[in-house]
Amino acid sequence: MKGHVLKILVLLTCLTATPMLADCPTGADLATGIRVTETDGTTHVYTGLNNGIAQVDITYTDGAQSRNLLAQGTHVLRLAEVENGAIVVSSISATTYPLPATDLPIPTAGSVWTVDTTVLSLDETYAETQSQRWGDTFELTIGSCIYDAISGALVYSTELSSFTEGVYFIEDLGIGLLYVYDHMEADGPAEVFSYINIEAVK
């Protein structure tokens, strides 16, 4: 009898544990969207488009929105603001690379990559050098989910200025999360971002 009760308890434990595990998104969930929430309530929804390109819809706590395009989770293709569900054309900043977006490298532990790009916006066009340096794999915890990730330092340099982004690249999901932004010429400390929840968009 005790053995029968024990089996039931074990079964119930497994059943209650399964939804928690199922709540953690996988790479397959990019098709419908993966939502990541910052500690201040800002949300980032990553949706896979094709060939490693993802759309990232960001909603800030003041209601402002942006819609960006990234290749392989880290290479910026386009930044833009959104109003009433539509992209604000005057806000678009697009980056062109010397190779197709779908051929841009996927970050790997210990890798280094530098590329010269051209940034185009409504007001100006300028050359920018991007340099990515990636560290070792570690376990990144977001809420109740744990993923293998690598931490990268991404440096963007022009003739007039430069800034660095700290990015966590989650290998199984193929997305990058910005965790620090440091503008070299700006006064004050770098901006730091942290994340408290990750979920599949239903």
- Per the structure, the count of domains in the chain is 1
- Please list the pLDDT of the chain residue by residue as tens digits (202 residues): 444 433 333 333 333 333 344 589 999 999 999 999 999 999 999 999 988 899 999 999 999 999 999 999 999 999 999 999 999 999 999 999 999 999 999 999 999 999 999 999 988 999 999 999 999 999 999 999 999 999 999 999 998 889 999 999 999 999 999 999 997 666 678 899 999 999 999 8
pLDDT for the residue numbered 185: 62
Strand, coil or helix: 31? helix
In a domain, 16, yes or no: no
In a domain, 47, yes or no: yes
Domain with 172 in it: what CATH number? Answer: 2.40.360
pLDDT for the residue numbered 50: 84
In a domain, 196, yes or no: yes
In a domain, 97, yes or no: yes
pTM to 2 decimal places: 0.85
In a domain, 62, yes or no: yes
In a domain, 101, yes or no: yes
Q: Which domain holds residue 165?
A: 25-200
In a domain, 11, yes or no: no
In a domain, 7, yes or no: no
pLDDT for the residue numbered 51: 83
Residue 143's contacts (CB-CB under 8 Å, 6 or more residues apart) are 195, 196, 197, 198
pLDDT for the residue numbered 64: 96
Q: How far lies 43's CA from each of 30, 58, 69, 77, 142, in Å?
A: 15, 6, 16, 20, 13
